[in-house]
Homo-oligomer: A and B are copies of this chain.
């Protein structure tokens, strides 16, 4: 009998927060590091890996735009949600001298802005957090630090100078589990995500929200992203409580569909534990 472990792709190097989210939610799986978000989505679409885990928003820095844009593609559905407490570490080589520069992902640098300014460090944006640790290690940079997870420091056998350097302690990242098929059965406390675009006229967004309000459906997030085709026209991404097979959600979505220029159901999934 073949013991087939679930293969779950993520963007970044080993030790990335996305990898930690995978370990948290799917301890029995194999996490597959890929270079770009584009590659992560492709691997799901092309059946090369079973699932993927991608960050969608952080409680301090906000939405991850690239993830939002890639969700528009066909054959990409959301089948789960994970919340993770972010605990940033200042990581250095063991033979470090006075630190001048600090490398990390722009979101992580943003989350530690006050700390970086108070220490008069020069922030240098990089590709990802764990990648920054690898970079300062491989280049033997003794005057530079990286901001990343404890796990990234441990994997690369680096020293943690300080832990919990994020400006706000209520720092959480929300991740989506991506799959090629949507989940069809309600699993208890579910959330649903949709994307739509509208004709540009007064009241068009209001008319959509009215449908939710009439059925007493609670919206948990609304995000807008440029369509990229027509300047200042937007896709709206809406998350709300309930499953698309619930009667009142089904009714609401049917009413919304006929009022939108574009509509995509991203899926329903059990709400993450927060």
Contacts and interface: CB of A to CB of B under 8 A. Distances in A.
A207 B205 CA distance: 12
Given A206-B206, A206-B213, A219-B205, A226 B61 contact: yes
Interface string A162-177: 0000001010101000
Interface of A: 57-62, 65-66, 106, 110, 125-127, 168, 170, 172, 174, 201-203, 205-207, 209-210, 212-213, 216-226, 228-232, 234, 274
Contacts of A203: 209, 212-213, 216
A229 B170 contact: yes
A274 B212 CA distance: 34
Given A106-B125, A231-B59, A201 B222 contact: no
Given A201-B218, A205-B222, A206-B206, 17 more contacts: A57-B226, A58-B226, A60-B226, A62-B224, A106-B125, A170-B229, A170-B231, A172-B231, A202-B212, A202-B213, A202-B217, A202-B218, A203-B216, A205-B219, A210-B210, A221-B232, A222-B224
